[in-house]
């Protein structure tokens, strides 16, 4: 996205504002499709939690994707966006049996990661197809905050519990049509992922009527110059070959499924914020922006690094700045970062703001959540209005005292 375009969007829609590029999303989707072109049946289920705006979901529906959902509300959003129930997989964690039953009534693919819930659901609904989420006890990346495959993870059914799992399936005579795993985000080593895949293949051999194997996702994208990323093309070549071999031995052509989120939308998004003030202390120059962790919490929550560009002065002399927000907490986006000279009123662009950014926004300090804009066919379109004071009061009940 060109600086001129982004500055115009900030002018037209105000700041802060999230901006997404449909062309980048489409390119990333096609890149995955091409990487696994040797697989006869491929299903990419976009992870709604990464960016759940209904207009973005409609774009993925047009592209031919399915949806990976983790709540009944995400299921409803997917249906509202036009997805067929059979193209939605519902993979909750820690929810009640009642919520799973509600999802089943919608007709979506159920994915269960709890032995107790599996037995209860299988006993009541033995004919409804169910996928089982396995924990392979393999960590994807180095950050335990975003790796969910380790042995102490709350996600998935441990591979060490397979005998008990098989007994439940036999006793309930339930219909298992899929096997699933998700090791977490930021896959650094393809060989580690392939190792986890072998565990999934071994597990799949226990079930004779599978339709698909879901390998999760967690593909890493670069967040800064020189940053590493998951080699999708190499993974596609190696996993496709192994998957095809497995299908031949299994005696049935299965669907290979993934549930990418960050990979598809992270690089497609930028976050624009205006500099309210430049404040110099004895040791630091702060650029204070009209935002905070109420809009973009990832740097504070995960220590993630978003490249920050002064699009109002892209050729200015570089200086060191700490970028901070207006929240009454420590909300530091960057410490002593080299950025082109910043003046009050400048617009800063935060890159890689498409995934897990707006979707984690809040009204902390009673601040409004920002607007969202989608650039589609070269035209900027508002896809979420900026909140107002009425939105802050909505659902609050003022009692007489």
The rounded distance, in Å, linking the Cα atoms of 349 and 274 is 9
Distances (CA, A) of 9 to 13, 355, 359, 377: 6, 20, 20, 15
Q: How many residues does the chain have?
A: 401
User: Who contacts 161 (Cβ-Cβ below 8 Å, separation ≥6)?
Assistant: 115
Compute the CA torsion angle 10, 11, 12, 14 (nearest 10 deg): 60
Catalytic residue among 131, 247, 328, 357: 328
CA-CA distance, 205 to 201, in Å (whole number)?
Answer: 7
Q: CA separation (Å) from 80 to 53, 83, 88, 273, 355?
A: 11, 7, 12, 31, 21
C-beta separation of 4 from 339 below 8 A: no
d(Cα 122, Cα 129) in Å, to the nearest integer? 9
113: which 2 tokens?
Answer: 């990661």
328 in catalytic set: yes
Cα separation, 309 vs 333, whole angstroms:
13
* Beta carbons within 10 angstroms of residue 135's beta carbon: 25
Cite the active site residues.
328
């Amino acid at each position: 996205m060109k600086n001129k375009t982004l500055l115009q969007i900030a002018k037209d829609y105000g700041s802060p504002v999230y901006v997404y590029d449909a062309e980048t999303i489409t390119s990333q989707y096609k890149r995955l499709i091409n990487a696994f072109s040797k697989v006869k049946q491929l299903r990419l289920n976009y992870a709604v939690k990464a960016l759940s705006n209904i207009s973005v979901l409609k774009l993925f529906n047009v592209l031919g994707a399915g949806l990976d959902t983790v709540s009944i509300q995400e299921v409803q959003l997917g249906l509202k966006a036009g997805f067929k129930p059979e193209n939605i997989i519902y993979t909750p964690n820690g929810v009640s049996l009642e919520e799973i039953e509600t999802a089943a009534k919608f007709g979506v693919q159920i994915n269960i990661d709890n032995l107790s819930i599996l037995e209860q659901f299988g006993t009541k609904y033995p004919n409804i197809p169910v996928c089982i989420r396995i924990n392979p006890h393999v960590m994807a990346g180095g950050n335990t905050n975003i790796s969910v495959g380790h042995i102490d993870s709350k996600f998935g059914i441990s591979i060490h519990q397979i005998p008990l799992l098989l007994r439940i399936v036999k006793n309930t005579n339930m219909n298992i049509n899929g096997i699933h795993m998700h090791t977490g985000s930021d896959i650094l080593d393809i060989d580690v992922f392939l190792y986890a895949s072998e565990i999934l293949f071994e597990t799949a051999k226990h079930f004779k009527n599978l339709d698909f194997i879901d390998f999760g996702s967690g593909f890493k994208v670069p967040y800064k110059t020189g940053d590493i990323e998951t080699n999708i093309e190499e993974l596609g070549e190696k996993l496709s070959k192994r998957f095809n071999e497995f299908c031949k031995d299994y005696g049935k052509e299965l669907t290979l499924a993934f549930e990418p989120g960050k990979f598809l939308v992270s690089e497609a998004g930028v976050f624009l914020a205006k500099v309210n003030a430049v404040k110099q202390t004895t040791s630091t120059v702060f650029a204070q922006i009209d935002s905070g962790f109420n809009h973009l919490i990832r740097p504070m929550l995960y220590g993630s690094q978003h490249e920050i560009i002064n699009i109002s002065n892209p050729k200015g002399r570089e200086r060191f700045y700490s970028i901070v927000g207006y929240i009454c907490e420590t909300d530091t986006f960057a410490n002593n970062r080299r950025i082109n000279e910043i003046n009050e009123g400048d617009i800063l662009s935060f890159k890689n703001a498409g995934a897990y950014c707006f979707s984690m926004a809040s009204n902390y300090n009673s601040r409004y959540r920002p607007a969202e804009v989608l650039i589609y066919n070269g035209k900027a379109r508002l896809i979420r209005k900026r909140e107002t004071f009425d939105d802050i009061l909505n659902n609050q009940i003022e009692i007489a005292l």
